[in-house]
Amino acid sequence: MVGYAFMGLAHSQGWRNARSFFDPRLVPDLVAIGGRDAEAAGEMARRFDWQHVETDWRTLVDRPDVDLVDICTPGDTHAEIAIAALEAGKHVLCEKPLANTVAEARAMAAAAERAAQHGVRSMVGFTYRRVPAVALARQLVQEGRVGQVRHVRAQYLQDWLVDPESPLTWRLQKDRAGSGALGDIGAHIIDLTHFVTGERITGVSALLETFVRERPLPGATHGLSAEASEGRGAVTVDDAAIFLGRLSGGALATFEATRFATGRKNAIRLEVNGSRGSLAFDFEDMNVLHVHDASVDAREGGFTRVVVTETSHPYVEHWWPAGHGLGYEHGFTHQAADLIDAIARGVDPEPSFADGLAVQEVLAAVELSAATGSCWTPTDHSTDG
């Protein structure tokens, strides 16, 4: 694994629990963790029993005892590490968004396609697909329970940047992160829309906004005056993104991603309205899916609150008795278990790098629409126009 911060912690837990709860066909062996800060990487190794620490990702990729590389680094490093690992014959799991640009994502998808011809697998880490209630929503759509999809409403609401004195991190720098709320959290609701509906976003009309354009540098003292520029740095990404979209099946969609929804911590909301029914999900009540069957007599109609903790629900049979809910961390275990299973069976896992590229094309279309004021921007960037 390359990276040892927030995602490194979540992924380490996922690899460890996959072998404890899922009885995988292949057992993940935590060989080496990599990071530029040897002390920080060493602490992660101690906590999760990684056997070795590397301070250069190239050394990690070159190790003959490493068969899979898990990339948990900022977006500006994804393409280089992933392509090198695939060309070295290593399976790859890469955190989302796949890259910082469509060109990088396209190169990664091409490398993954070449590697797949030699049995080398790759997957992008859109972990919320593996929340049981979301996986159930996809099953219901596939079974035709909502009929023809007509509307999608997708939101990802957080408030962790409401304080203007929150420090400037790499996630607020375009050269490191690619974009702000759009790519960091908006990418999730784009992928969830693709995943649950089975359709793709074909065009968008968008607005982006940065509310706080300058923040204290890490370690700087809060309360510095604006004149103390040496203690502050420019925010070069968006704080919020709002856009309209159309799906390949004709449905209309609205999307909202923001880090300035005061009081919202991790509200991922998805509602799908169809000709025969509707589905609604909110991650802040993540073990519940609201289901409406339009064929039910109006006297008994309305949304049914389904508690997704039965053994018949996706993933749940591996965990606790019914009614004992799962949490944020379980998605990473499901992700690791699914990837291991795909490698063992010799099939390509999902979401693929091609799926990650499709999300990247939507992100690029949103940025282009917002920058140009275009009322409609297609997501097809095949001509790089």
> Do 60 and 153 fall into the same domain?
no
Q: Does residue 310 lie in a domain region? A: yes
Q: Which of 350, 351, 344, 331 is nearest to 18 (CA)?
A: 331
Q: Does residue 249 lie in a domain region? A: yes
Q: Does residue 376 lie in a domain region? A: no
229 pLDDT higher than 80:
no
> Do 147 and 202 fall into the same domain?
yes
222 pLDDT higher than 80:
no
Task: Note the pLDDT of residue 197.
Answer: 98
> Do 193 and 77 fall into the same domain?
no
> Do 164 and 301 fall into the same domain?
yes
381 pLDDT higher than 60:
no
Which residue range(s) make up the domain with 60? 6-128
Q: Are 129 and 356 in contact (CB under 8 A)?
A: no
Task: Note the pLDDT of residue 342.
Answer: 97
> Do 52 and 142 fall into the same domain?
no
User: Can the peptide bond before residue 351 be classed as cis, meaning omega within 30 degrees of 0?
Assistant: yes
> How far from 371 is each of 184, 364, 368, CA to CA, in Å?
19, 10, 5
Q: pLDDT band for position 347 (50/70/90)?
A: very high
> Do 99 and 152 fall into the same domain?
no
Q: How many domains does the chain have?
A: 2
> Do 94 and 17 fall into the same domain?
yes
Q: Does residue 371 lie in a domain region? A: no
Task: Note the pLDDT of residue 219.
Answer: 72
> Do 79 and 149 fall into the same domain?
no
Q: Which of 181, 235, 230 is nearest to 213 (CA)?
A: 235
Per-residue pLDDT tens over the stretch 232-257: 999 999 999 999 999 999 999 999 99
Q: Does residue 372 lie in a domain region? A: no
Q: Does residue 346 lie in a domain region? A: no
Q: Does residue 12 lie in a domain region? A: yes
Task: Note the pLDDT of residue 224.
Answer: 41
Which domain CATH number covers 305? 3.30.360.10
| Beta bridge partner(s), residue 377 | 204
Per-residue pLDDT tens over the stretch 74-115: 999 999 999 999 999 999 999 999 999 999 999 999 999 999
Contacts of 344 (CB under 8 A, 6+ apart): 24, 25, 26
Per-residue pLDDT tens over the stretch 133-171: 999 999 999 999 999 999 999 999 999 999 999 999 999
Per-residue pLDDT tens over the stretch 42-75: 999 999 999 999 999 999 999 999 999 999 999 9
> Do 109 and 143 fall into the same domain?
no
Mean per-residue pLDDT for 301-327?
97
> Do 227 and 137 fall into the same domain?
yes
Task: Note the pLDDT of residue 230.
Answer: 62
> Do 105 and 182 fall into the same domain?
no
Q: Does residue 70 lie in a domain region? A: yes
Contacts of 229 (CB under 8 A, 6+ apart): none
Which domain CATH number covers 79? 3.40.50.720
